[in-house]
Amino acid sequence: MNPHLTSKTAVVTGASRGIGLATVRALTAEGVRVVGGARTITPELEDTGAHTVPADLSTAEGVATLMSGALDRLGGIDLLVNNVGGEDNMEPRGFLDADDAQWSRVLDLNLLSAVRATRAALPSLIERRGSIVNVSSISAREPTVGLIAYSAAKAALTSLGKSLAREFGPKGVRVNTVSPGAVNTFIWADPAGLGGKVAAQAGLDHATFFQRLPQDFGIATGRITEPEEVAALIVFLLSDLARNLTGADHLIDGGTLTAL
């Protein structure tokens, strides 16, 4: 099936690695002209052929830099993927261990980056009857102990998507959310990432923890999701193949969550 994306334009945040990088690759493969924004422009992102804008998307100034740069390069925006998220030095911590500064950092990156990027893109998206995908997390539905600020921010992001879909659907803009479970990115696969810190707390070496992760997390398929699989779902939701899908939260977690 043809997603009819050739000659469209897109902005992807958090594009340097993981889900964001996989999404840039998938969109460019469909003939989309993409601007990828990230604090650090990696060689892998450069190799996609996408336009790149270095920017700290946890700040209002960084988002403004990305969006103005994207509009200058693309002339208008058809598609927006609010993917950037997580936090610097992501690690499990209790509620009493997270101060206001920590909460602000997490909310800025995981929620307000999407608010700011969407606000900047909407005039163009309305004109072009475009589409938005926000990348949330299953932590929005089942808050994770030790990642309380992250879970709260992702729950707010999921709610934001539904509100935007209701307000701007009549103006031709679709807004959907993708909520991955564990994905094979640096967050879990890198010993220096969150996975390594969770393993240490459990008294395990990272290799053992990572091997056992599907079983310990209750993933029905017996494996974690690949970034390319999330990217494929994002591309589908952005495309005309999903033209009557909006305001929905789409899980891609290998059957981790079982609640109705």
Annotation says 225 is catalytic: no
Q: Give the distance between the most distant pair of CA atoms in the chain.
A: 54
Which residues fall within 8 angstroms of residue 235, CB to CB, at 6 or more apart? 3, 5, 23, 26, 27, 30
Query: Which residue among the candidates 85, 112, 125, 150 is catalytic per the annotation?
Result: 150
Q: What is the DSSP string of 205-260?
A: -HHHHHHHHHHHTT-TTSSPBPHHHHHHHHHHHHSGGGTT--S-EEEESTT-----
Within a 10 A sphere around the Cβ of 228, how many other Cβ atoms?
A: 14
Q: What share of the chain is helix, strand, coil (3-state, %, to 5)?
A: 50, 15, 35
Distance CA 143, CA 120 (A): 30
Question: Which residues are known to be catalytic?
Answer: 150
